A and B are shown apart, each in its own frame.
Chain A
Amino acid sequence: MANTAAVPKSFRVELLNGIHAFGTSVVRAGTGADTFKMALYLATATINADTTAYTGTGELAATGNYTAGGVTLTNATAPANTGGTGIVAFWTPSAAATWTALTSSGSFDCALIYNSTQSNKAVGVFTFGAQSVTAGNFTINMPTNDLTTGLIRIS
């Protein structure tokens, strides 16, 4: 036998599940999954890696069937590390994010996923080119939930 330096495969999934707290931890209200939301941002906004939490600045105006804060993501599938060597942990919302009968207040190109249970802390920023929607539906379809395309992956 030989020893091998490694980050345990299980650790990555546990990070996604909030098992470890290396710093001062938050007090969790329960053992259920947090609520994650997705908000849309105008092309003129500044949402990027420095974004720490949801902000209303630069968000689509709450008109034309858009509600400030966006929509709640469906989260029916727990993080996993199945497939491949098990090194990659991944999580993907289990349904598309959809706005119906939307008329966007301007050109938008960005979606922010944030944790509304934990002080609206930012989780991920996604861009998709400038869009406008007129009296129509806007849908963000999620990628396949696996180790190569899952929406949030730790490898």
Chain B
Amino acid sequence: MLVETNKGLIERNDLTVKDVIYDEDNARVVATEWFFNNELVRRDVNVNILRGLDLAGDAEKFN
């Protein structure tokens, strides 16, 4: 299988892949880094928003 990189298509078996997972304030980030001869040639990122924005009002106390 070939993988698109910044150096063009490279055979998957020639690449080293590393997943980096960490949490930010309100998001979980999953980055997949692809290396060719120890050089980063592709980086994909998935940001998973854990919780949206809350426009909480003072009226809440009336409920």
Contact = CB atoms under 8 A, between A and B. Distances in A.
Interface of A: 4-7, 85, 87, 90, 92, 101, 103, 124, 126-129, 131-143, 148-155
Interface string B19-39: 000101111010110100000
A4 B62 contact: yes
Contact of A7 (B4, B24, B63): B63
A61 B23 CA distance: 26
Contact of B52 (A131, A141, A153): A153
A6 B47 contact: no
What's the interface size class on B, roughly? Answer: 20 to 34
Given A124-B53, A129-B29, A133-B44, 15 more contacts: A5-B62, A6-B62, A127-B24, A128-B29, A128-B49, A131-B29, A135-B6, A135-B41, A136-B42, A138-B44, A138-B46, A148-B51, A153-B55, A155-B56, A155-B60
B47 A131 contact: yes
Contact of B55 (A127, A132, A134, A155): A155
Given A6-B62, A7-B63, A127-B25, A153 B40 contact: no
B32 A136 contact: yes
A6 B57 CA distance: 12
A7 B6 contact: no
B40 A85 contact: no
A139 B47 CA distance: 6
B45 A136 contact: yes
Contacts of A87: 60, 63
Nearest to A64: B6
B18 interface: no
Nearest to B3: A135
Nearest to B34: A136
A134 B42 contact: yes
Contacts of A6: 59, 62-63
B31 to A, nearest CB: 7
